[in-house]
Amino acid sequence: MSLLEFQNVSFNNEGKSILNDISVQIEENDFISIVGPSGSGKSTFLKLCSYLISPTKGGILFKNKNFTSYEPTELRKNISYCFQTPYLFGDTVMENINFPFSIRNRNPDQKRITALFSMFHMTTAYLNKDVRNLSGGEKQRIALIRSLLFKPEILLLDEITSALDVTNTNIVEAVINTLNKEGMTILWVTHNPEQSRKYANKLLSIADGEIKSWEVIK
Ligand SMILES: Nc1ncnc2c1ncn2[C@@H]1O[C@H](COP(=O)(O)OP(=O)(O)OP(=O)(O)O)[C@@H](O)[C@H]1O
């Protein structure tokens, strides 16, 4: 059974075709790198995967059931999306980390929080820091921790390391690789050819809104 399946998906906006007739099957535990020129439709593909937007034509299935038959909140619990520019809100890191717990009426799981901070080479001393004083790399790691608190089944990553230095990039890549080894399905949009082949088992190349190639590389 595929975990996520695109069946002849097209997405148009204001009469313009952005993605055209995309069919692809993503298996549990895949690590997929998504590459293609700027403006080819990669981010739109991830937005469709996360149910931020819906296809104009065709259907997207999660565990063999159309997205439309799920509650959006149920899908978002299982499918997490991280952006190139991390969005942190409010004043402190703690507000951002506690938020996913509060919307589920749960108390913060300190053990899980500590383990994730440690995975990203940070300590929980960051919880009291003002988000405005964090570096880009720290912000991206906090945003990733926030999206991982409830162990999503699918993690969507949109050029998350393109603004990071080598040290931060290495930390983030290592964590994502570990999560994949532990069973998480990863879809990672990257412009970096070396990064695209480093950990992925499949490579999806998109050009002009269509699949140019779909390769099994490992
Ligand atoms: N909501 C929208 N309305 C109109 N046009 C859009 C919308 N979203 C995306 N586009 C257009 O669709 C095309 C694909 O955009 P998308 O952001 O998916 O490309 P991308 O491959 O991720 O590009 P990049 O690598 O530069 O981030 C672009 O021409 C973009 O301008």
Angle among Cα 206, 88, 168 to the nearest 5 degrees reads 65
What's the one-letter identity of residue 91?
D
Name residues contacting ligand 1 (CB within 6 A): 13-14, 18, 36, 38-44
ipTM score assigned to the predicted complex: 0.91
**Separation CA 183–CA 59 (nearest Å):** 25
pLDDT in tens, 3-32: 999 999 999 999 999 999 999 999 999 999
Q: Which of 14, 19, 42 to mutate to test the pocket of ligand 1 (most atoms within 8 A of CB)?
A: 42
Confidence band for 1, pLDDT divided at 50, 70 and 90: confident
Tell me the pLDDT of the chain averaged across its residues.
96
| DSSP E strands, the chain | 4-13, 16-26, 31-35, 57-62, 65-66, 79-82, 154-158, 185-189, 202-207, 210-216
Digit-coded pLDDT (tens) for 163-178: 999 999 999 999 999 9
Label the pairing between strands 31-35 and 185-189.
Answer: parallel
Cβ-contact 101, 108 below 8 angstroms: yes
Cα 202 to chain center, whole Å? 16
Q: Give the β-pairing of 185-189 and 202-207.
A: unpaired
The CATH class that applies to domain 28-53+76-216 reads alpha beta
Confidence of residue 191 (pLDDT cuts 50, 70, 90): very high
**Ligand 1 probe mutation, 33, 40, 48, 204, most atoms within 8 A of CB:** 40
User: Residue 218 pLDDT > 90, yes or no?
Assistant: no
Residue-range domain boundaries for the chain: 28-53+76-216
pTM of the model: 0.94
